Every structure is written in C-alpha cells, then in structure tokens.
Structure 1
C-alpha cells in the first residue's frame, strides 16, 4: 500500500489528527499553514510526511496568474472604502501587490455585498435573520446587499424567504438580496463560488470558510462552534483578516462605522497578503507526482 494523504482545512490542528505511532504511519499531511506544520512536528510527525501547501481554493475564483482574484479584489476594495481613507493610506501598497490600478474598476452598483454563510445543516440561521433585519434599512437605501447562503437545504431557503417577506423586502429579491442555493452539491459549489466573486464581506463562523480570506474577502467572525473554530478565529484575528461580530441587532450602525474607517478594506488586503492560497496546485503536485 502507498501513502495516505490527509488534507487539513483548518488553520491549526489538534492532537487527534495524528496517530499514536507517528513514526510508523503512512499518512502524508498536506498542511495549509505554517502553524499546522509546526503543530504536526510537535506531535512527532516526521518532516518528510508534511508538505506546506496553502489553502485549496477554487480556480474559478483565482484565474491564471491570479487575474480574476486581483480584478475582483480591486473592485471589492473600491466598494469597501466609501470615504477613501484606505486608498489614501495604502494606495502604493496596493499597486505593489496587485499591479497597476485599473483605469476603470467595473462596479455594477455601489452596494456593499455581505454574504452570510449558514454552517452545517442550517446552524445560525436565527443569527442571519437578526442581521437581515438590522441591515434592512441599508438594503432599502441601496447601501448594502446580502447573499444568504442556504446551500442544498430547502428548509433554510424557505426560512430566508419567510423572513424576507416578513421584513417587507420581497421587492429587493435579486437586486438587494440573493439566496445562494442549489439542488445538488456540485451546482451549489459553483453558485457559491460565483456569488463569492460579488461578495465584499463574508460573515461566517470560523469554519473552513476562514480560508476564503486568502481571496481578499474580509471575514466578520460569528461565534465559534468547536475548539478548531476558536483556533481559526484566533488565526484570522492575528493576521488581521477578520473581526469578531458586534451586537447583530445594531449591525446597521457598526458595520457602516467599520466601512467609513477603512477597517474592513484593510482586513481584505491583509487576508490576501497573509493567507496562503496555492493549495490546489501544490496538493496536485504532491498527490499525482
């Protein structure tokens, strides 16, 4: 028998991932971060059984030579900086890492699109409803849009539609509110990736979705569930790619404050700069060499 490949999708890793006899194991770990590499070494895993790969992110969100990623990030940073304070402070840095600023950054509207990702089998749907209610004032005025991620769970989609109607937002479906859902996982993954290109802020518990910060998508961190998510939250905050949510009842107030001060734009850039994203190619090179 050959090697067993283990793809790690969290920013840190517990002792349970490694067998008691680490020296005799055939498991080869594909680690997304240096912290995971260091942790595995502490657990006794030989260095030859560990490859630092970066996070595996969809090619359709990156493109050749990161063309799609950089195009989307330029657009996102424009929307996330309504007062211009971020570009004033980091303009030279942006061109250093993203290339020359496009003369015309395509932006079909001025809304800041917030994606709320519902974890698992619909966990935190009630939190999403609170956020939607708070942001309804900005949805109506054209300042904010929301992608509500229902996945393949029809009950979550119906839950969203019920609350959208209850809040008097039915007329904004498709233009100020979009539900990301599909019948199959393959269809959903594609729909999610396309919605993510339009997304300016990702609101999620710090699950494996944390690594989408590497695409320059800033994270608003919902309360963690499970120890690995506490570590992911810590990692996001340390690299500056995410901020913990404040009171969801007052989202319409604090999120505008964050935008006006350029803090969310800064998180977008930090995620792009600090989170490794070459996972797909690196994993392919290891597994199929």
Structure 2
C-alpha cells in the first residue's frame, strides 16, 4: 500500500512527521489534509517500512479487535451483549459534575506496560534521527514519543467530539504533548484529565483544504450555494431565509441547480452497516430510474465492501444504471480513496453515515443523515450533530424513498446544511499548520459552546 513510508524517505522540505494508524478511516482522514506538512506522505505507525515484527503483531491484534467489536454491533443477539461490555470498558465518563479525572485508568497503565517492553521504540528512534515536530492523529505514537524521550514538539490531533482518558498520558500534569481539540468539549475534557491549559489548542478538526478553499471558504461557499438550492425544491426555507443565506455566502442571489440531487452513503472502515445498502437500493429504485436522484455508495478501500455493494446493486436490478445515477467510490490505496471521496463531496447534497469523524464534515455545509452509532465516541458525535442542528437521525432505510423527500419538501435539510456551515469549525487545518510552524497566530479560536 502506498502509505507504507520509510521514515527516512522524507525530503528536505519536510516540516513535520505526520503520524497516523491504519485502524478504521478516522485517524488517516485527519492526517490526509496535513500531508502538506510533509513531502506529501504520512507515516502509518502500524504499517511502515522496517516495522519490527513484534510491533506489527501487537498492532494487528489491536486492529483485529477493533474490527471485531464493530462487527459485533451488527449481530442482533449474541453480539450485542459482548459489544456492550467491550464498549463499557472504554466508556467516556460523564462530564458533569466537573472533577479531577487525572488519575491513570487501567487502560492507560496497561498501555505503559507495553512501552516498558519497547513497543513503538523503533518508530520513535527513527524520528530522533531527523528531529522535527511530530503530529499524531492517534494517541499511541504521541504517548510513545514522550515516553521514549523525543526532544522535538509533540502534537496530537483528536478525532471525536469527546474522548476517553487513554488520550492523555500517565502523568498528564507534566506532559509536553500539545493537543489540537476539534471542539470545545474535548478541550474542556482534556483539562479534567489533567492536561495543562497551555497545552490545549481549540483548532477544529482538520478538514480538506480542497473543500474549504482558503481562509474565506471560497470553494465551500460555492458548493453550499448550489447545495441549498437542491435541498429546498419547494423553497420552504429559502423563501424566508434566502437573503440571509446570500449575505452569509457573499453572493447577490442563489444560483440555479447545477447538478442532480445527490445522496452519498458511506460505511465505516470496519465495513459496518453495509447491510443497509440492499434496503436503500430497493427503496430508491424508482427514484434512480426516474432520474430524481444520484446515489453514491462509498466502499472506501475495502474490497469486501465493494463486492457486497456490487452484489446488492445486481440483486436490486440496478446494474444497468449509468454512473451519473449510481456509482461506487472504491480505491485500495487510502490516499486515492480520500481524494475521490473529497471530490465527490463538492456535489454531494446529503451525506448518510454513522457519526464518525465525518460528523465534522457538517462544517462544510453538508447535512448528515445519522446512521446508528457504534461505540461511546460515536454516541457523543451524534449528540453533537443534533445539537448543532446539522444532523438528523435516519428513519427506516427501507422507507428512505418517503422520509427523505418529506425532509426535502419541508426545507429541513437546507436548514441543516446552513446550520452546519454556521456552527461547524472550518479552518482547523489552517490553524494547525499555523501553530506547528510557530507563526504569528492570525486565526482566533472558533466560537463554539461546551
């Protein structure tokens, strides 16, 4: 796979080590917009050139566990109790009442026992040969860098709207790790875990620059203008709020529709919720043949999900549809998958997905249909989306041909798109780059409630 990078392969223009893990899509998706800090590559901590076998095996067990837990959530009888117990093990404690949560948990102590045995030392030693800031989108490399005495700056990008204690080190009050919080709740949570306030930056999630378009959001605003028109066919929303939307986007009037209504359905990195596709296809069959909708199915980089999607399309009698009506995004290379997915989002009107890191893409003005959450973090993400007004929990997939068009007719989705743009954080990538480069900071913290 092309993300398999030698730690020594970075060019002289590299400004930082960007480190991620191949475990689902979330941590890699956070690293992808930050690749400009490197020579265009990032280090995959569990799959890089020269990784010791003992480290690879430890990572493999962890990844298999993660994917098994995700699959258990889909098992209606036997899997549910097991998944509940495993999720309870990594549960995020209640935020209120505010209290000191700095004491290391059992999970943190177990992790440091792995460090004592040398886990990840090889990776950190490679970084020491060319000291630069280390930017991690997963907690393990960041904690290891500090444990093994890395002298350069250590940064950690967080990928959910609330986090477990495992993200903070054994002795958080003395940590050198600096954290990039995607929202205010995470920033406040880190303080409860004992991380000094000076080590916490409220930046927002790093969204792809190609979907934002600079500090003035030029591309985002163009895409959102076209999206609002598609999402409000009866002008229930724009009749009253169209002038405000135009002022917000800096345009004299809303444009005419320039693409068909487009729904994008994305499954997670473990392939969870792929089973919903058969119901969705059968429900939307008439709409697709009538040209009322374009449907994009996102298989990511998993060939098994691609095979499942193709089989579902065939069984639903839709294999004869042209790509302009029904298409599948798949690429075995993760970077290529992210590139294709981001390109499709320009004309995506609604994103249907579980509340993963893609929840933050609501800040791009894309309303989210919230599929069932898998795990504590995603429960918090779903709640954040609902509070923002940018996400709506799904109804029964087999009736999407009814409820989705009811939502369109009411203007509800247009309202959600604008709410995400107004309340979501859009300039996270730019803030992160500014901080790592130690440049004078021109971007203020985003305004967001706890």
TM-score, normalised relative to structure 1: 0.95
Q: Give the structure with the higher percent helix.
A: 1
Q: Is the CA contact 1:125–1:156 (under 8 Å) kept in the aligned structure 2? A: yes
Q: 2:335 matched to which residue of 1?
A: 186
Does residue 15 (structure 1) correspond to residue 165 (structure 2)? The answer is yes
CA distance in 1, matches of 2:254, 2:415: 21
Contact 2:230/2:257, CA 8 A, preserved across alignment: no
The separation in 1 between residues aligned to 2:413 and 2:257, in whole angstroms, is: 20
Partner of 1:34: 184
Q: Compute the displacement of 1:18 (Å).
A: 1.6
Q: Note the residue ranges of structure 1 that are not aligned, 5 or more in a row.
A: none
The whole-number CA distance in structure 1 between the counterparts of 2:208 and 2:434 is: 16
| Cα distance in 1 between the residues matched to 2:238 and 2:165 | 43
Using the alignment, how far apart are the partners of 1:122 and 1:198 within structure 2? 24
Partner of 1:92: 243
In structure 1, C-alpha distance between the alignment counterparts of 2:173 and 2:309, rounded to whole Å = 50
- Runs ≥4 residues deviating over 2 A: 101-106
TM-score for both structures, normalised by structure 2? 0.62
Q: Distance in 2 between matches of 1:224 and 1:272?
A: 23
How far is the alpha carbon of 1:220 from its aligned partner?
0.3
Highest CA radius of gyration, 1 or 2?
2
| 2:323 paired residue number | 174
Alpha-carbon contact 1:130-1:248 (below 8 Å) kept: yes
- Identify the residue that residue 418 of structure 2 maps to in structure 1: 269
Q: Deviations over 1:227-282 (max 9, x none)?
A: 00000000000010100001111111111101100111111110000011111111
Deviation of 1:2 after TM superposition, in Å, equals 2.8
- The equivalent of 2:80 in structure 1 is none
> Contact 1:2/1:26 (CA < 8 Å) preserved in 2?
no
| Structure 2 spans left out of the alignment, 5+ residues | 1-150, 439-450
Contact (CA 8 Å) 1:74, 1:105: kept in 2 or not? no
- Indicate the larger mover: 259-268 or 4-13: 4-13
Shift of 1:283: 0.7
Distance 1:173 1:12 in 2: 41
Pick aligned residue for 1:121 from 270, 289, 311 = 270
| RMSD of aligned Cα (Å) | 1.4
Task: Name which structure has the greater RCO, CA cutoff 8 Å, separation 6+.
Answer: 1
Structure-2 separation of matches of 1:120 and 1:190: 16
Matches of 2:252 and 2:230, distance apart in 1:
14
Q: CA deviation at 1:93?
A: 1.7
2: CA distance, partners of 1:27 / 1:134: 49
Task: Deviation per CA, 1:171-196: give whole Å up to 9, x if none.
Answer: 22302111111131121111000011
Contact conserved, 1:138 with 1:144, CA < 8 A, in 2? yes
Paired residue secondary structure (1:123): coil
Specify the SS of the correspondent of 1:142. coil
Deviation at 1:128, TM superposition (A): 2.2
